[in-house]
Amino acid sequence: MKQADLIWMNGELIPWEDAKVHVLTHGLHYGTGVFEGVRCYDTQLGPAVFRHQDHIERLFRSAHLYYMPVPFERETIRQATLELVARNGLRACYIRPIVYRGYGQMGLNPLEAPIEVSIAAWEWGAYLGEAGKRDGIRAKVSSWRRISPDSLIPASKASGQYLNSVLAKIESQKSGYEEAILLDEHGNVCEGTGENIYIVRDGEILTPPTNASILDGISRRSVIRIARDLGYRVIERNLARSELYLADEVFLTGTAAELTPVREIDDHPIGAGEPGPVTRHVQQVFDDALHGRDERYHAWLDPVPVGASAPS
Ligand SMILES: Cc1ncc(COP(=O)(O)O)c(C=O)c1O
């Protein structure tokens, strides 16, 4: 990964290489952490964090679901993030806030373990590659099922829950695909390992609803809004596996992957085997929104006050 200079840890900006934790950190053993993936873009308004407040809200919701009171105000986290990006001299970057149970208590009752907060930022290109964004990727339906609400909390972005995504990702990579698509225990389509999923059929966009064991993606909310603004009908309903293979178009969205088309699933070409017109249209406007080129979506941008605290 591409290092930056500083990381924010529990209220202080410290050198990147000093941002360390004890080996008996609770979250390292039991996955007791919650995190966010956020992006800052080099926009026409200067560097700006996309839907910053929404990410902070989701971080606090994830923490609440795991009985973790965050020891900082939302506004402190927001200001810390803006300062971190500015002080690292970054204009476009990925931002990773994490709230986790720290060192001091072992065993499965975490309630006495301290709650620590860190924020890191670094330059990170499109997660599924620029070629993937342009030409589409090949995906495989995973043999692993998406975590069930019977056992965990799909709506929470919690560290331990990502073992499910890690298994699916490894399986897809070892089989020669770029991403995995997870179904739930009834066979309904959920999402990618770190992306929400959509199909296009007869000009309409369909995507699993938020109660379908998915993460309530912030890119998902943005893309649904954009697609509706563009006049597309967007339907949130359960999708069967076969609907993936029969779709005219399929695409994924996530903060890391942005909007990435899927051109093949389980060796079935999707539509013409290349990104289709609806995907392209929504992708273009979403990209404009991310980069501040579309005034309709400027309210989604939280500008970084550069200059005020340039790198020393
Ligand atoms: C499992 C999962 N689903 C969906 C998403 C997409 O969410 P967002 O658009 O908020 O990044 C992510 C990424 O955060 C994810 O990890």
- Looking up residue 70, the CATH number of its domain turns out to be 3.30.470.10
Mutational test site, ligand 1, from 196, 207, 220, max ligand atoms within 8 Å of CB: 196
Q: Give me the number of domains the chain comprises.
A: 2
Residues 151 and 254 in one domain: yes
Is 310 part of any domain?
no
Could you tell me whether strands 258-265 and 137-141 are parallel, antiparallel, or unpaired per DSSP bridges?
A: parallel
Could you give the CA distance from residue 270 to residue 237 in angstroms, rounded to a whole number? 20
* pLDDT mean over 131-135: 96
User: Which residues are catalytic, by number?
Assistant: 157
CA distances (Å), origin 296, targets 47, 105, 132, 157, 255: 18, 49, 27, 29, 20
Residues 134 and 88 in one domain: no
Is 309 part of any domain?
no
For residue 270, the 8-state DSSP code is: P
Residues 116 and 134 in one domain: no
> How far does residue 173's CA lie from ligand 1's centre (Å)?
19
What confidence tier does 311 reach under pLDDT thresholds 50, 70, 90? very low
Is 181 part of any domain?
yes
pLDDT, tens digit, 9 for 90 and up, residues 265-293 = 999 999 999 999 999 999 999 999 999 99
- Looking up residue 235, the CATH number of its domain turns out to be 3.20.10.10
Q: Where are the alpha helices (DSSP H) in 98-192?
A: 130-135, 162-174
The model's pTM is 0.96
Atom of ligand 1 nearest to the CA of 193: 1
Residues 199 and 230 in one domain: yes
Residues 280 and 173 in one domain: yes
Is 139 part of any domain?
yes
pLDDT, tens digit, 9 for 90 and up, residues 204-260 = 999 999 999 999 999 999 999 999 999 999 999 999 999 999 999 999 999 999 999
Domain, as residue range, for 13: 6-122
User: Which of these three, 105, 122, 139, is where a domain ends?
Assistant: 122
Could you give the CA distance from residue 191 to residue 120 in angstroms, rounded to a whole number? 26
